[in-house]
Amino acid sequence: MTMQENKPVSAVNSEIGIGDLLRICWLQKKLVTAITIVCTVLAFAFTLVLPEYYVADLLAKPVENTDTGPNQSSGGLSALAGGLLNKEIQYGDELVIYATSRKFVLDFIKKNNLEAKVFAVTGLDEATGELEFDADLYDADSQQWVANKAPSSFALYKTFMDEYYNVTYDDQKNLLSFSMQYYDKDMAYDWLVSISNELNDYLMNKRIDVINKRLSYLEGQVGTLRIPAIKNATSELFQNQMYALLMTQYNDGFAFEIIDPAIKPVKPNKSKHLLLIVIGCILGGFLGIFVALYKHVSRNHELSR
């Protein structure tokens, strides 16, 4: 038999089946177990140095508002966008778009002077209860940014969305979920309540501005119209818009109604820490199996020489 004819046989003999893999892992069980334990311990040690976040959340039900009285059917938040939003988008999804928009989020951060707390805080001093700031970015004593280290609007928005704030919509239950996590439990709670209230106010004021523009336009048109039917129709539109204005100003929960209000968190959220430990254990198991297989293949290679 030639050397070329021997190659397929060698390749077949070198294949490792499931049974072989289990046998190798059993023979090398101490090695696999040791590597798994080491990786799990390292993952656990890593979680000890991670900052702890307190999480506050609330549930809300969207309240879709019609534009005006019984003679006008169009309305809701789609009108606020001037019809630019896709009509197939559900009302709850529209709320998420507004709640996570750059304009709204950045306005909230700047209005409440949260730039440093969003971008420069590294943790919480448990002994004093004071926030710890990155000295390379922000001077907490003078409350000034280090030269050329002030964050851009994009960096502020990205950090706030990635690290602290989240809004989702469950179209099956028709529920909005708002969550805020932060190093300080009071701030996590206060920020969540504030941002949900400001979202309602933001959308209500946006709606009022749209209605006022319509009223101003219709009021100017009524006096110039000569055809009675068109004049009556315009007057009816004007009355509908007045009705919409009154109902919008009266409605406290304009965009959504709080179903399950936020509660101030008591303990930090450890769910991510547990997940990291589980991932470390799984990766350690795979690494242990890989090392065991490598040793097996290397030993067979040495014996075949």
Q: Are strands 144-145 and 54-62 parallel, antiparallel or unpaired?
A: unpaired
Question: Rounded mean pLDDT of the chain?
Answer: 80
pLDDT-based confidence at 206, cuts 50/70/90? Answer: confident
Question: Is 178 a residue whose pLDDT tops 90?
Answer: yes
Question: Is 226 a residue whose pLDDT tops 80?
Answer: no
Share of the chain above pLDDT 70, in %: 78
Q: Are strands 144-145 and 165-170 parallel, antiparallel or unpaired?
A: unpaired
Q: What is the mean pLDDT of residues 117-145?
A: 91
Structure tokens at 135: 């000295």
Which pLDDT value is given to residue 28?
A: 80
Q: For residue range 244-294, what is the model confidence (pLDDT) as tens digits?
A: 776 666 666 778 889 999 999 988 766 677 777 888 899 988 888 888 888
CATH numbers and ranges of domains, the chain: 30-52+282-289 (no CATH), 53-206+255-269 (3.30.1890)
Q: What is the mean pLDDT of residues 186-190?
A: 95
Which pLDDT value is given to residue 1?
A: 45
For 10-24, 195-209, 240-254, 285-299, which range has the lowest pLDDT when averaged over its residues?
10-24
Which pLDDT value is given to residue 133?
A: 93
